[in-house]
Chain A
Amino acid sequence: MAVVLVVEDDVFIREIAEMMIRDWGHETLSASDGDEALSFLRSARHIDALFTDIYLKNSVLGGCELAQQAIELRPKLRMLYTTGNFVTDKMRALFVEGTQFLSKPYTQHQLQDSFVALLAA
């Protein structure tokens, strides 16, 4: 069982994603923006993986910026990005090395496949 921090500003999408993740036996932590996520990351809570939307509230690349800070705080953290936007090479260059990406809309099976790969890496 892993602890996954889910960062998504759309409440419905975040809760459905958390529900899917919990169905596979994992524990979830919930954040709607970078600041909330960072408070978890700076705490003593055990976190195995970060699943973050890239476009967070008004920040087009908020998820990328969050991931950069997260890896500095927790170098072993595994990361899965998601976005509905077309991922440009410029955006990909901002991804933390060795991380995974899942485009929206994703199904429960696609999310599960991504998590299996993420946690097995």
Chain B
Amino acid sequence: MAVSDIAASDIVETVPSALIVLDRNLNITSANRAFYQTFRTSSDETEGCHIYDLGNRQWDIPALRILLENVIPHRASVEGFEVEHDFPTIGRRTMLVNARKIFRPGDHDGSILLAIEDVSEERAARAESKRNWQLTQSIVDTIRDPLVVLENDMTIVTASKAFLTIFGITEAETHGRRVSELLQHQWDVPALRHLMEKVLPENKPIESFEIEDNFPGLGRRVFNLNARKISQPGNHAHRMLLVFEDITDRKQRERDSLSLTNEISHRIKNNLQVIVGLIAYEAKWTATPCVQGYKTMQARIGAIARLYDLISQSSRGRTVAVDAYLREIAKAMSASLLGNMSGIDIEVKAEPLEIDPDRAVPFGLLVNELATNAIKHAFPQGTGHVMLCVEQVGDQIELVVADDGVGMKNTDSAKSPEKRGSDYVAIFVRQLGGTMIPLKQEPTGTTVRIRLPLLLVPPGGAERVAA
């Protein structure tokens, strides 16, 4: 045997593909080890047999026959002929058949080298992937919000029917293109692009990115964009799901509501301004000792106006967040009564509790009265600390307004401003259905504790809506 023949047979024995050699009559002259292993057969059962007689005649396929019978006479080849069959020894398999004419020494007619590759797993994976993709596509098409699935390079892999219908574009116009290139570049927004670049590498979803623009055939629209990374189990490739939520109507309702709120606020504040103006005019002609009373009255009207603003800022739909509300009250009091240079500071400690807007005003006025009293009377030296605290104690809310000042003096005179302040506090507590815990004598400072019913939100009224 020649050296070249030995080398060739070694190669044939070591290649993983099943190989057989056929003579001009399509009888098998030899097969390699991979063939016997793949088909769980032996050389006795194989060599000398006609190719069509092998197994349960799995290769006896009219189309394959035409191809094979042309290899030797016409030097034709068989390229990637796929055979899916129930093989007697190995069950259902998909085989890829390639064949070409070869010449061996002394063989003037030539032979056929037939390579058979088992591609069952690859085909099964491809079929599974196709089924998954069809399933995904059918889910995508049932979602009413328009959405697209993007590849790693931000190009569109698929767009839902809703996306194509709503934006009036075809699948061909979307496939392989970036979202920013679509339509009249409405989505070409640098901030959005920046966020989208982080979705896959950093697994950072995009939540409610708002875009308002004119869209062909739709007019002016507002869309909320949400994006997240999606991955297929067992697959390292990731894709991005980008959903477009049309919030135009909701946005318009919000704008109408804001416009109405502004209109009402404008009227209420103007009316309060008229009252404050009337008081100012009266104060102008009043004897000096009485002017302070008018000023106090104006300050309380100002407090009601501020509370009105704070309620709208702290609102969570139909309820007012006590924690946010207290912080806003503290901020407003610091700005109006203390200023930047004050040595008095106000601290807030509050649990996330809620009250309904109807009770928010007396609650705010109660806090305002107690805190104003502390700021005005507890710190003759101009330095100190006021604490506003709200927490749930059993089935009640405890409001604590404490200071580290000089302590409370006993003032019984009905004429004193402090007495009137105490009267207002008592009225607000009764209005809220609460009770005052008697004051304890403390060496320094004053701590006022008030217990209020926990149900400061009426039953059924605690609909939490994001502000």
Identify the A interface with B (CB < 8 A): 10, 12-13, 16-17, 19-20, 23, 55, 60, 83-86, 103-109
Contact = CB atoms under 8 A, between A and B. Distances in A.
A10 B265 contact: no
A42 to B, nearest CB: 28
B309 A13 contact: no
B436 to A, nearest CB: 30
Interface of B: 259, 262, 265-270, 272-278, 280-281, 283-284, 295, 298-299, 301-302, 305, 309, 312-313
Given A12-B277, A86-B309, A86-B313, A104 B262 contact: no
Contact of A85 (B262, B302, B313): B262
Contacts of A83: 266, 269
Contacts of B267: 84
23 contacts: A16-B281, A17-B277, A19-B281, A55-B262, A83-B269, A84-B268, A84-B272, A84-B273, A84-B305, A85-B266, A85-B269, A86-B309, A86-B312, A86-B313, A103-B305, A105-B276, A105-B298, A106-B276, A107-B280, A107-B295, A107-B298, A108-B280, A109-B295
Instruction: Identify which of A10, A60, A105, A109 gathers the most chain B CB atoms within 10 Å of its CB.
Output: A105
Contacts, number: 68
Contacts of A106: 273, 276
Contacts of B281: 16, 19
A86 B259 CA distance: 12
A18 B408 CA distance: 42
Given A13-B270, A16-B278, A106-B273, 15 more contacts: A13-B274, A13-B277, A16-B277, A55-B266, A83-B269, A84-B265, A84-B270, A84-B272, A85-B265, A85-B269, A103-B269, A104-B269, A105-B301, A105-B305, A106-B276
Contact residues of B: prevailing secondary structure: helix
Contacts of B313: 86
Q: Which 10 A-B pairs have the closest CB atoms?
A: A84-B269, A16-B277, A105-B273, A105-B272, A105-B276, A104-B269, A108-B280, A107-B298, A104-B273, A55-B266
B262 A60 contact: yes
B438 to A, nearest CB: 36
A106 B298 CA distance: 9
Contacts of A104: 269-270, 272-273, 305
B454 to A, nearest CB: 30
A51 to B, nearest CB: 13
A86 B295 CA distance: 24
Contact of B273 (A13, A23, A85, A86): A13
A103 B266 CA distance: 11
A60 B261 CA distance: 12
Contacts of B259: 60
Nearest to B294: A107
Contacts of B295: 107, 109
